[in-house]
Structure 1
Amino acid sequence: MKTLLIPVDFSTTSDNAVDFAIEWSKDYGYERIILLKTFYDTVFDHIVVSAEYAPVSPHYMAREREEATLQMDSLSRHIIGKTDNSLQVVSMVSEAPLLRAILEVVREESPEMIVLGSDNFKYSSGSFIAGNLIAIAKASPVRVLIVPAAYTYQPVKNILVPCDYKTLDSLHKLENLRIPPQWNDSKLLVLNVDAKERYLNPDDQLIAAEEHVHERLREYQHEICYSSDKNTINGILSFTEKHRIQLIISLPGKHSFLYYLTHKSISDAICRNAREPVMILK
């Protein structure tokens, strides 16, 4: 079954990711959504912050799990109601750490994609999932869709593909995406951030790179775009501000968009880039 996996923590950011996933699943023919909640505790979760550092009562922890189970049931009913019973919803709980729990579900249930909610630089819901975004995105063997806090689902018309010409071979990953029929009228905007502005007077190497892009994307509507910003992240941000982008696709590889995200601070990179959904290919 075509499946989405959504780790949840009942924060507003997590709930928003669920609402986004509902609309995404309806548009792209998903048949099942798996909700995953981990109850993993660290040693500090068993301590009340007080002068005495008294242990937390087992009854308290049991009540916490019972409340979470009720919230999972409520979330499942919400999804089923929004999809007119056309979608199977599975609630899963785990005592394992978040990342391990996600990887176990991926291995056992084979979802096509993981949907994660992300806080941004102006807003924080205190989401545990959002706080572990980078680790999940890097470790996941399947593609990941990052949904910004408060972002409302929009049909995908313009897709931004940040691309470093040093790793153009990674464009073949777009073939694995299986562009859906809903994107037949969509356009891929391939953005190269080039601070040296070589595109103003392209040499043979740049011309060859552009030809490679056109060849790789010959089956899709696409356009090559440039930014002269000295900072890759800022170049991407500025571009999304000037164009109506509904999805950013991150290609894999050392010089990919993901590379820049994982080598900057979370607040400066992921959070500031969370105005549009980001799909990370694998």
Structure 2
Amino acid sequence: MKTLLIPVDFSATSDNAVNFAIEWARAYSYNRIILLKTFYDTVFDHIVVSAEYAPVSPHYMAREREEAAHRMENLSREIAIKTRGVDVISMVSEAPLLRAIMEVVREESPELIVLGSDNYRYSSGSFIAGNLISIAKASPVRVLIVPSTYQYQRVEKILVPADYKTLDSLDKVRNLQIPPQWKDSKLLVLNVDPKERYLNPDDHLKAAEQHVHERLKDYPHDICYSNDKNIINGILSFTQRTPVQLIISLPGKHSFLYYLTHKSISDAICRNAQEPVLILK
């Protein structure tokens, strides 16, 4: 069954990701949605922040779990009503968030994980958003990152940031099963070139462009350039000038995800929180 996994923590960011996922599941014909909530406790969860650091009552913790379980049941019913025909499953775990997600991936084989992301101007205190990068890096399946304020839109333009040093990663786009809903969508392949070689392309650049056209010959696409000296800024500036509904992050050392995870994580992912990012595997 075509399955979508949504970790939830009841924050506003998580709730927005759920609403987005509902529309995504309906648009792309998913058969099953799995909601996952972890009740994992750290040692600090059992301590009240006070001068005495008093331990939290087990009754309080049990009541908190009961309330969360009740909210999960209500959320499952709401999603089932909105999606009609989609099987909605509510799961809880005592394992740490990342381990719980990996266990569900292994046992249930979802095609996609949907995660909510806060931005630099706003934080809902989402625990999931705070662990976004570790989940995206560890996941063996595709991950879709949804900005906290983004509302679902039909995908008409898809931005694919690409480094010409790793053009083989474009195979991931070609091998991606493009849904029929994207048959009229255009892929915009963006290369950030601060040296502006694209203004007077040499044989190497022409060969790289030909490589792009060959890899994406089955899809409507354009090649675009940015002369920004910073990869992230170049991508973000492009999305401000050219509205897109999805950014695809290719795998590999020179991928967009590489810059999110090896540069300034908080700055990059938060400033990017304008459009959803689909991370390929």
Q: Considering the TM-score relative to the shorter chain, is it more than 0.5? A: yes
Deviation at 1:266, TM superposition (A): 2.8
- Alignment partner, residue 189 of structure 1: 188
Deviation at 1:125, TM superposition (A): 0.3
- Alignment partner, residue 211 of structure 2: 212
Deviation at 1:72, TM superposition (A): 0.4
Unaligned runs of 5+ in 1: none
Deviations 1:196-232 (Å, cap 9, x if unpaired)? 0000000100000000000000000000000000000
Whether 2:104 is the aligned partner of 1:102: answer no
- Alignment partner, residue 47 of structure 1: 47
The 5-angstrom pairing of residues 4-153 of structure 1 reads 4-83=4-83, 85-153=84-152
The 5-angstrom pairing of residues 180-259 of structure 1 reads 180-259=179-258
Deviations 1:116-135 (Å, cap 9, x if unpaired)? 00000111000000000000
Deviations 1:231-271 (Å, cap 9, x if unpaired)? 00000001000111000000000000000000122321101
- Aligned residue type for 2:196: E
Helix, strand or coil at the partner of 2:269? coil
2: CA distance, partners of 1:128 / 1:190:
33
Deviation at 1:176, TM superposition (A): 2.9
Q: 4+ residue runs of structure 1 moved beyond 3 angstroms? A: none
Helix, strand or coil at the partner of 1:15? helix
2: CA distance, partners of 1:40 / 1:134:
19
Count of aligned residue pairs for this structure pair: 281
2: CA distance, partners of 1:165 / 1:176:
18
- Aligned residue type for 2:5: L
Deviation at 1:57, TM superposition (A): 0.6
- Alignment partner, residue 162 of structure 2: 163
Deviation at 1:78, TM superposition (A): 1.4
1: CA distance, partners of 2:220 / 2:199:
23
Compute the RMSD of aligned alpha carbons: 0.6
Unaligned runs of 5+ in 2: none
Whether 2:2 is the aligned partner of 1:2: answer yes
Deviations 1:166-200 (Å, cap 9, x if unpaired)? 00000000133200111010000000000000000
2: CA distance, partners of 1:211 / 1:159:
20
2: CA distance, partners of 1:268 / 1:54:
36
